[in-house]
């Protein structure tokens, strides 16, 4: 057993780190205040190839292995959780097409998604439907070799600027997934502002008013839109978010290591006070624990092992709870400065809370993880009984 990055992965990590430190981190607070990610930033991400990170080389992407891609998510998450969500939702659309798209969908969309000519967004959640996602209320009616989509999607990250939306809607009462282009007649978006966190993730409401799309835009088959198409996308989303939480937590830790070395109270630096050391020690340990879960999920992903789905859910669950606590302590350590816009930790805390809600909330992960624990326990008992019999 070895848990070590390859020299190539270390090299890539250095490149990601430098890119984020120069191009993203210094501006992230401003974007957060403006509630906007400028086009130039997305252009930079596209030029350096990160929008095509998971797309194989034959379709114009980078074909990164799962660990390398995780390292990229970690670094982007360190700079800006909002920008990480672009990588997440864009990647979810790429993943859905890669796994379940038709040959023509792959040929026409993957090269565009890889270069950023197309920006993808993921349209599942609706005003009335969140966690209970397979019961979305949007509908798709089949008529004349096309589907007519009607409904409303809410909280769609980068919905303000994406031009290709993966929309989940019910077709004859069966969840189905469709590619819908922004320029489709009847399609419109409205910005959502004033959010707690992910403020520069350019969220939007999406309105589908009898949007007619050719039948070729169905991804997978009717009835497989949630279990398989969204299923593949959401697994990718949880993976990105898990790694992104690591980066965000690392940013909190770095801020605290720096601040506690400069700020003095009661005649000594904050880092000299043992109650501060306790919080720092907890941060370091929990970040390391989350990193191991993410490595494990990445290792299974590269092997294509079915347990990757559960392990990714566990990694996302742990990492998102971990970052909520780490960011909370980071603000505590910064005192009043931590509450001010002069320091980024207030943004970290606001963004960290979102991590527990998106890509399956903490409670949804808990239900799944606990159930799986009971299954494994029962299975072990059954195996032991069989052994006794023989």
Ligand X SMILES: Cc1cc2nc3c(=O)[nH]c(=O)nc-3n(C[C@H](O)[C@H](O)[C@H](O)COP(=O)(O)OP(=O)(O)OC[C@H]3O[C@@H](n4cnc5c(N)ncnc54)[C@H](O)[C@@H]3O)c2cc1C
- Could you tell me where the beta strands, DSSP code E, fall in the chain? 120-123, 139-143, 146-156, 164-171, 174-181, 187-191, 204-214, 218-219, 264-265, 268-269
What does the radius of gyration of the chain's CA atoms come to, in whole angstroms? 22
Q: Which H, E and C letters describe 31-61, residue by residue?
A: HHHHCCCCHHHHHHHHHCCHHHCCCCHHHCC
User: What's 174's DSSP letter?
Assistant: E
**By CB under 8 A, residue 237 contacts another protein:** no
Exactly one of 66, 67, 89, 202 binds ligand X (CB under 6 A); that residue is 89
**By CB under 8 A, residue 48 contacts another protein:** no
Burial class (CB in 10 A: 0-12, 13-18, 19+), 106: middle
Q: How far apart are the first and last CA of the chain?
A: 33
- Which partner from the list another protein, ligand X, none does 224 bind, CB cut-off 5 to 8 Å by kind? another protein
Contact 372, 275 (CB under 8 A): no
Binding mask 178-197 for ligand X (x = CB under 6 A): -----------------x--
**By CB under 6 A, residue 363 contacts ligand X:** yes
Produce one character per residue of 250-288: b if its CB has 16 or more CB atoms within 10 Å, e if not: bbbbebbeebbeeeeeeeeebbeeeebeebbeebeebbe
Binding mask 297-316 for another protein (x = CB under 8 A): ------xxxxxxxx--x---
How many other CB atoms are found less than 10 A from the CB of residue 30? 11
**By CB under 8 A, residue 100 contacts another protein:** yes
The smaller minimum CB distance to another protein, of residues 224 and 295, is found at: 224
Provide the token pair at 275: 């109650």
Does residue 359 have an active-site annotation? yes
**By CB under 6 A, residue 122 contacts ligand X:** yes
Which of 25, 38, 77 is CA-nearest to residue 160?
A: 38
- Which partner from the list another protein, ligand X, none does 371 bind, CB cut-off 5 to 8 Å by kind? another protein
Contact 87, 72 (CB under 8 A): yes
Q: Choose the stretch contacting ligand X; rule: CB under 6 A; options: 121-129, 140-148, 253-261, 274-282.
A: 121-129
Contact 313, 369 (CB under 8 A): yes
Q: Which helix (H) or strand (E) holds 156?
A: strand 146-156
**By CB under 6 A, residue 130 contacts ligand X:** yes
The smaller minimum CB distance to another protein, of residues 288 and 371, is found at: 371
CB of residue 54 vs ligand X: minimum separation in angstroms? 17
- Which partner from the list another protein, ligand X, none does 226 bind, CB cut-off 5 to 8 Å by kind? another protein
**By CB under 6 A, residue 119 contacts ligand X:** no
Exactly one of 61, 120, 231, 247 binds another protein (CB under 8 A); that residue is 231
CB of residue 313 vs another protein: minimum separation in angstroms? 7
Name the residues that contact ligand X, by CB under 6 A: 89, 122-125, 130-131, 155-157, 195, 198, 201, 203, 354, 357-358, 361, 363-364
Name the residues that contact another protein, by CB under 8 A: 100-102, 134, 220-221, 223-224, 226-228, 231-232, 235, 303-310, 313, 368, 371, 374-376, 378-379, 382
What are the catalytic residues? 359
């Amino acid at each position: 057993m070895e848990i070590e990055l390859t020299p190539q992965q270390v090299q890539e990590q250095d490149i990601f780190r430098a890119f984020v430190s120069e191009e993203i981190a210094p501006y992230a607070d401003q974007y957060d205040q403006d509630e906007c990610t400028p086009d130039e930033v997305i252009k930079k991400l596209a030029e350096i190839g990160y929008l095509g990170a998971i797309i194989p080389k034959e379709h114009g992407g980078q074909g990164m292995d799962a660990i390398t891609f995780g390292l990229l998510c970690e670094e982007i998450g360190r700079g800006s959780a909002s920008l990480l969500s672009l990588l997440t939702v864009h990647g979810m659309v790429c993943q859905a097409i890669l796994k379940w798209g038709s040959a023509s969908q792959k040929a026409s969309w993957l090269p565009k998604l890889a270069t950023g000519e197309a920006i993808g967004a993921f349209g599942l959640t609706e005003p009335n439907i969140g966690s209970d996602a397979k019961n979305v209320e949007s509908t798709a009616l089949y008529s004349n070799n096309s589907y007519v989509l009607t409904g409303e999607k809410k909280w769609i990250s980068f919905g303000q600027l994406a031009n290709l939306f993966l929309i989940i809607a019910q077709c004859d009462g069966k969840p189905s997934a469709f590619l819908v282009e922004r320029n489709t007649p009847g399609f419109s978006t409205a910005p959502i502002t004033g959010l707690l966190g992910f403020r520069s993730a350019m969220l939007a409401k999406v309105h589908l008013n009898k949007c007619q799309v050719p039948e070729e835009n169905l991804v997978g088959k009717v009835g497989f839109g949630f279990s398989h198409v969204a299923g593949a996308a959401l697994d990718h989303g949880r993976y990105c978010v898990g790694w992104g939480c690591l980066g965000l937590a690392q940013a909190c830790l770095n801020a605290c290591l720096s601040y506690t070395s400069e700020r003095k109270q009661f005649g000594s630096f904050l880092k000299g006070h043992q109650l501060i050391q306790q919080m720092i020690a907890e941060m370091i340990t929990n970040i390391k624990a989350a990193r191991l879960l993410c490595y494990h999920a990445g290792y299974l992903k590269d092997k294509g092992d079915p347990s990757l789905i559960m392990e990714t859910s566990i990694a996302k669950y742990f990492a998102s709870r971990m970052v909520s606590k780490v960011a909370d302590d980071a603000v505590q350590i910064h005192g009043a400065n931590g509450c001010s816009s002069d320091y980024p930790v207030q943004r970290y805390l606001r963004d960290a809370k979102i991590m527990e809600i998106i890509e399956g909330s903490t409670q949804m992960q808990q239900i799944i993880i606990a159930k799986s624990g009971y299954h494994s326990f029962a299975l072990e008992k059954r195996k032991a009984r069989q052994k006794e019999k023989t």
